[in-house]
Structure 1
Amino acid sequence: MLSTLLPALRTPELRRKILCTLGLLGLYRLGATLPSPGVDYPAIRTCLHIVSGGDAAGIYQLIDLFSGGAMLQLSVFAIGIMPYISAGIITQLLTVVIPRFEQLRKEGNAGQATLTQYTRYLALTLAVLQASALVALAAHGQLLRGCPAQILADTSLFGMVVTVAVLTAGAALVMWIGELITERGIGNGMSLLILAGIAARIPSQGTAILDSRGVGVFAGVCVAMFAMLVGVIFVEQGQRRIPVQYAKRVVGRKLYGNSSTYLPLKVNQAGVIPVIFASSLLYVPTLLARLGPRGSSTWQELIQKYLAAPGNPVYVTIYFALILFFTYFYVATTFDPAERAEEMKRFGGFIPGYRPGKPTAKYLGAVLNRITLPGAVYLGVVAVLPNLAPQLGAGGPAQGLAFGGTSVLIVVSVGLDTVKQIQAQQMNRNYAGFLR
């Protein structure tokens, strides 16, 4: 990584992009620490110290991790990037269901710009709903369970509306920062914001593990995290390369084709999207249970017992099954073997031993199904591993979530993608200099 960053910093254009990215990430972390109006920030800090992240995080632990701890503190950027990610996933899935979205996807840059605008509108709608839910939970004392203090200083209707408006505006600003990083910086802005949130939690959670369990346990956690890091890098780089041969063809006065290449199919074709989607889906029933009427009812007790406890075997089983389902579902919606086979046929490409068209599509579908299974199992194991591990600290698994498999998966994926983009831009500059 250093061999890639040091030459990039010597290049004025890349250095400007890297500094722009770092500056916007610093602005994002600043907003994650600013308290929202109408929120008693000292009371929140006291409550977080009392509950020590255990039941306070619970089902929210992964979503709170993505925001860098801003959600449970009800800061300006408490909503974070999750509404935009959820809206992007929903829009992408709707392209299979709604013909209009499918048509826009095939129109190139103009259609993609329209889909992006729809995604923004949907993200703002989800941000309003999530902000209202957080404020309602805080007003009823359900956000930080076990907290004796009232974390909302103003529980009037006007005060809560102002807080919801500020949280929604913060989500819109986070969305703008992420898009600005993608446009003028280095890497995918949304992924880098999640990476910044995870990195911000590592020092505090590492210190908590060290103070509560001692040097030996902390060293063991670091060794286990390093081993997981190596394994995740190995799987993330794994791919099935399908050879593709392009026939010779003449267009005008130029000769094209007569070359060999390969079609790379990653083992983890879906990335971390299934984990995010499964976590968001499990978050909904717990949210409804906490927003429900006061008092104990059967359905609320069942949800709190089985779906609000990450260490419960029922929760782990459902979480693992949802990850498997969404992995297959996401891969099926993002990679169409028939469409890919048609593209290859249109440009004169074929897989040796298979006829173009339906035989090629059938072969690609069979290969994709075979490599998706180990990828889905790998994602499920990495995601549920922190829930199966022993208690890392006084606060339980939530306290060491930044050292968990999902965090490592996100850090590795985003890091590798960012380094590849820097290398690609350096290569383009080197080719441009050579051609001159």
Structure 2
Amino acid sequence: MMNFIKTLKDIWKIEELKNKILLTIGLIAVYRFMAQIPLPGIDPTQLTALKNSTDGGGLLALLNVFTGGAFARASVMALGIMPYISASIVVQLMGIAVPYLQKLQKDGESGRKKITQITRWLTIAITLVQGPTYIIAIQNSFGLPPEAFLVGGTTFTISSLIILTAGTIFAMWLGERITDKGVGNGISLLITVGIIANFPAAFIQELVSKTTASGAGAGGIMTILIEIIVWFVIILLTVLLVTAVRKIAVQYARRTVAGNIQNVAGSRDYIPLKLNAAGVMPIIFAQAIMFLPLALAKRFPVLNDLQDINGLSYNIVFALLIIIFSFFYTAITIPTNKMAEDLKRSGGFIPGIRPGKDTAERLDSVLSRITFPGSLFLAALSVLPAIVVQFGVQQNWALFYGGTSLIIMVGVAIDTIQQVNSYLLNRHYDGLMKTGSNSNRKSSK
């Protein structure tokens, strides 16, 4: 505990890091405030039917979790950041087949900026498709009373579409500002904050269902304690998945120090390859795609089975998508060929493996072998909510019981903490360098 307090004091002493954290908290607070504002023309006191629809489980409940409850409030941020996630998926998938995007991916910073701009425009296009779907749904599909709409007809539809689009663009802007000026990945943080916002209500609902007189047969406090213990075990397993690495031994034959080539034969280092190198992105990608059956079910009744997030069909497809995206995202984010070339230039090699092409093939082989069990573990954790529901856990609480919500929260929390730690370590390193320089000056005198 004392170490934690000391770390907080160290963070507060670093002006740049303190400002980044305060900026991040402020932008997140703005996002959460906007999520409470209902669309103009809707009476927020008449949204009980919409809330009941999202509390009943299924993809609507999951979408409501990802938007931090904004979906059930008919908020100006009802679509949240999900159109941006969908656009990112489309752009990355197109990057495999479209030569222009492949060229941009190789153009460094300038190419990255152009890809970001393409993603932004595609986000607007997707929002203009999802927005009318949401507006029509709240008007016709959720059983809202006529008095819930203070303004009707075309005026409500057009104004709501413009506001929903502006809300998504604003959420995208907030996420990018957090990434550039704050701490952590802004888009992932906004999703995580939306998930955490639903956590207290979900736990209280589970607690009430197990401890009240009507739920006395459910096991009471003892059942809650068992659920909490198992939940912490799942958190530990999730942390292990996120942090596990496979170390590839590397030996350096020579290094250049101050312009002189020094033989350092026997000097060893490691290349850490993460068991889950793709992080939370496969889950986010897979979840975004699993929202499609919700929009297409009326036109294609065969997709009705995929609307039940606790159903067998949904979880099989969901798990397969996570496995596929794990390999896909790992392949595009970890360039083994470039790693092999950089290793060769620095005079390093994997013992028993020739530098260059053979090293790249070795790294690719090891990465493929560890990605497979990592993706299976990730998929297993993601379908846990559907399993615990069968043991009497409430749907809203089950969404945090493993599954997408927990993995995203743990992954984003670890990434953010690691970024904060890197600031602390860099500050400590700079201080040592200054001390060393000062001592050298003193000794020279």
Normalising to structure 2: TM-score of the pair?
0.87
CA distance in structure 1 between the aligned counterparts of 2:430 and 2:404, rounded to whole angstroms: 39
- Distance change in 2, residues 1:239/1:132 (3 Å): same
What residue is the counterpart of 1:296 in the other structure?
none
Is contact 1:24–1:181 with CA below 8 Å preserved after alignment? Answer: yes
Q: How many residues align?
A: 419
SS in 2 for 1:33: coil
Q: Distance in 2 between matches of 1:117 and 1:303?
A: 33
Counterpart selection for 2:145 from 149, 153, 173: 149
Distance in 1, matches of 2:427 and 2:189, equals 24
Which residue in 1 is equivalent to 2:156?
159
8 Å Cα contact 2:255/2:346 also seen in 1: no
Q: Classify 1:254/1:135 alpha carbon distance in 2 versus 1 (closer, same or farther; 3 Å).
A: farther
2:34 corresponds, among 31, 36, 39, to: 31
**Matched residue, 1:366:** 365
Take 2:262 and 2:408, find their aligned partners in 1: how far apart are those partners? 40
CA distance in 1, matches of 2:58, 2:337: 43
Q: One-letter code of the match for 1:174?
A: A
Q: Is the 8 A contact 2:54 2:61 kept in 1?
A: no
Among 159, 179, 183, the residue aligned to 2:176: 179
Separation of aligned partners in 1, 2:386 and 2:376? 16
Aligned-pair CA distance for 1:162? 0.7
> Is structure 2 residue 225 aligned with structure 1 residue 226?
no
The change in CA–CA distance for 1:3 and 1:380 in structure 2 (over 3 A counts) is farther
Quick one: structure 1 residues 254 and 130, their matched pair in 2 at CA, closer, same or farther if it must change by over 3 Å? farther
Aligned equivalent of 1:11, options 9, 14, 18? 14
- Alpha-carbon distance between aligned partners in 2 of 1:254 and 1:153, rounded to the nearest angstrom: 78
Distance 2:83 2:133 in 1: 13
Q: Name which of 203, 208, 214 aligns with 1:206.
A: 203
Deviations 1:182-216 (A, max 9, x none): 22211111111112111111111111111222242
Distance 1:43 1:314, change over 3 A: same
1:387 counterpart letter in structure 2: A
C-alpha spacing 1:185/1:373, structure 2 compared with 1 (3 Å): same
Q: 1:129 and 2:129 equivalent?
A: yes
Distance 2:75 2:263 in 1: 56
1:398 to partner: Cα distance = 3.9
Q: 1:272, CA displacement in angstroms?
A: 1.6
1:168 paired residue number: 165
Corresponding residue number in structure 2 for 1:63:
63
When residues 25 and 97 of structure 1 are mapped into structure 2, their CA distance, relative to the original with a 3 A threshold, is same
Report if the CA contact (8 A) 1:83-1:126 is conserved.
yes
Cα distance, 1:3 vs structure 2: 5.0
CA distance in 1, matches of 2:362, 2:343: 13
Evaluate the alpha carbon distance shift between residue 350 and residue 140 of structure 1 in structure 2; reply closer, same or farther with a 3 A threshold. Answer: same
Cα distance in 2, alignment partners of residues 277 and 248 from structure 1:
43
Query: Partner amino acid for 2:395?
Result: P
Look up the equivalent residue of 1:187 and give its one-letter code: G
In structure 2, give the amino acid aligned to 1:132.
P
The secondary structure found in structure 2 opposite 1:352 is coil
Tell me, in whole angstroms, the C-alpha distance in 2 between the residues paired with 1:342 and 1:18.
Answer: 37
SS in 1 for 2:135: helix
Q: Provide the rounded CA distance (Å) in 2 between the counterparts of 1:256 and 1:288.
A: 65
For 1:180, the aligned partner's letter is: R
Per the TM alignment, residue 374 of structure 1 is displaced from its structure 2 partner at its CA by 1.1
Partner of 2:412: 414
Superposed CA RMSD in Å reads 2.4
Structure-2 separation of matches of 1:196 and 1:392: 28
Q: What amino acid is the match of 1:407? A: S
Structure 2 CA distance, aligned partners of 1:64 and 1:126?
18
Which range is displaced more, 408-417 or 242-251? 242-251
Residue of structure 1 in register with 2:93 after alignment? 93
Question: Hey, what's the Cα distance between the residues in 1 that align with 2:202 and 2:45?
Answer: 20
What are structure 1's unaligned runs of at least 5 residues? 293-298
In structure 2, the CA distance between the partners of 1:234 and 1:95, relative to structure 1 (3 Å rule), is: same
Q: Deviations over 1:52-95 (max 9, x none)?
A: 701xx412333321211112322011111112222223333333
Q: Could you tell me how far apart the structure 2 residues matched to 1:165 and 1:193 are?
A: 22
Displacement of 1:40 after TM fit? 3.0
C-alpha spacing 1:4/1:121, structure 2 compared with 1 (3 Å): farther
Q: Is the 8 A contact 1:62 1:279 kept in 2?
A: no
- Opposite residue 315 of structure 1, the aligned amino acid is Y
| Structure-2 change in CA distance of 1:39 and 1:70 (3 Å) | same
Structure 1 pair 162/391, CA: closer, same or farther in 2 (3 Å)?
farther
1:329 offset after TM fit, Å? 2.2
Whole-angstrom CA distance in 1 between matches of 2:224 and 2:54 = 18
- Distance change >3 Å, CA 67–CA 49, structure 1 → 2: closer
Unmatched tracts of structure 2, length 5 or more: 212-219, 435-445
Q: 1:427 — aligned with what? A: 425
Pick closer, same or farther for the CA change 1:16–1:251 going to 2, 3 Å: closer
Q: Give the structure 2 partner of residue 325 of structure 1.
A: 324
Match of 2:49 in 1: 47
Matched residue, 2:438: none
Q: 1:96 to 1:348 in 2, by over 3 A?
A: farther
Q: Which amino acid aligns with 1:368?
A: L
Decide whether the 8 Å contact of 2:138 with 2:144 is kept in 1. Answer: no
Give the 3 Å change call, closer, same or farther, for CA 152–380 of structure 1 in structure 2: farther
Aligned counterparts of 1:3 and 1:379: Cα–Cα separation in 2: 34
- Deviation string 1:304-363 (CA, Å, 9 cap, x unpaired) is 2x1111222122222222222222222223223334323323443321110112221221
Q: Distance in 1 between matches of 2:352 and 2:8?
A: 43
The answer to whether the 8 Å contact 1:239/1:267 transfers is: yes
C-alpha separation between the residues in 1 aligned to 2:107 and 2:373? 34
Cα deviation for residue 167 of structure 1 reads 0.7
Change (3 A) 1:148 1:75: closer
TM-score scaled to structure 1, two decimals? Answer: 0.88
Percent identical: 37
Return the structure number with greater relative CO, CA threshold 8 A, min gap 6: 1
User: Distance between the aligned counterparts of 2:118 and 2:46, measured in 1?
Assistant: 38
Matching residue within 191, 194, 200 for 2:191: 194
2:283 to 257, 270, 275: 275
What is the correspondence of 1:388-403 to structure 2 with a 5 Å cutoff? 388-390=387-389, 396-403=394-401
